[in-house]
Amino acid sequence: MSVVLVTGASRGIGRAIVTRFAQAGHTVIACARGQQGLDALQNALPQVVCVACDMRDDVAVDALAQRVRAQYGGVDLLVNNAGAFRPGSIAEEDDGVLLEMLQANLFGAYRLTKRLLPHMIERRSGMVLNICSTASVAAYPNGGSYSIAKHALYGMTRNLREEMKPHGVRVVALIPGATHTDSWAGVNLPVERFMPAEDVAEAAWMAWNLSSRSVVEDIVLRPQKGDIGEADFQ
């Protein structure tokens, strides 16, 4: 069985991915910023290794990578899911929002990936799966710095894929649209307008289970009724 590390793992898409891989018997390391969410995950899935880590903290990310390397040698699958959403427009948002969104959605994934890649390169196998967003590939009103950061994560994914091809390491961009998670808490829309997080986890599972000779470069998932837009709130 493989060693899988999932960031942002205590809820939503991250938790669904943790559950899917843990129930299949893989060794899963789940990290998240909030201890309460990790405790709930641990109670539900005692076999999962839960580690508190704020992906915006360079020291914490380095400590996580060091712990994983010391205990497991490395990971076979890294799922960079941790992130944060803050709507706004570029013209009106505070100057610090861009750095905040980059730290939450890009910098931690970049740093952790760099720390764990040597093991994959040495073994000539493994996968980095980045949870992007439809905001990574399409502009929309009120996207602001969040959309900029998600575009950057997608750009990192594409560039890393080209770099890793000679080393046998697969790099996947999983690009979901509106998913029924806490990010949409308080939005007065029917559940049918959202995808279940379990469907996104199933897409990750599918990408992982292809042979080493194949890679799904981009997986775009949207609600069957389409993206949520201004018309949904009228």
Please give the C-alpha separations between residue 53 and each of 34, 41, 57, in angstroms, as whole numbers: 8, 15, 8
- Residue 52 and residue 55: Cα distance in Å, rounded? 10
Phi, psi (degrees; rounded to nearest 5) at 127: -145, 140
Handedness of CA 36, 56, 186, 150 (dihedral sign): negative
Has 110 been annotated as catalytic?
Answer: no
Consecutive H or E run containing 201: helix 197-209
CA geometry: angle 47, 49, 53, nearest 5 deg:
155
Beta-carbon contacts of 219 under 8 Å, excluding residues fewer than 6 positions away, are 172, 173, 174, 175, 203, 207
Q: Kindly give the interhelix angle for 108-123 and 58-72, rounded to the nearest 10 degrees.
A: 20
28, 22 contact by CB (below 8 A): yes
Q: Which of 72, 110, 140, 146 is catalytic?
A: 146
- Residue 33 and residue 166: Cα distance in Å, rounded? 34
Name residue, tokens 């890294």: 78
Which positions are catalytic? 146
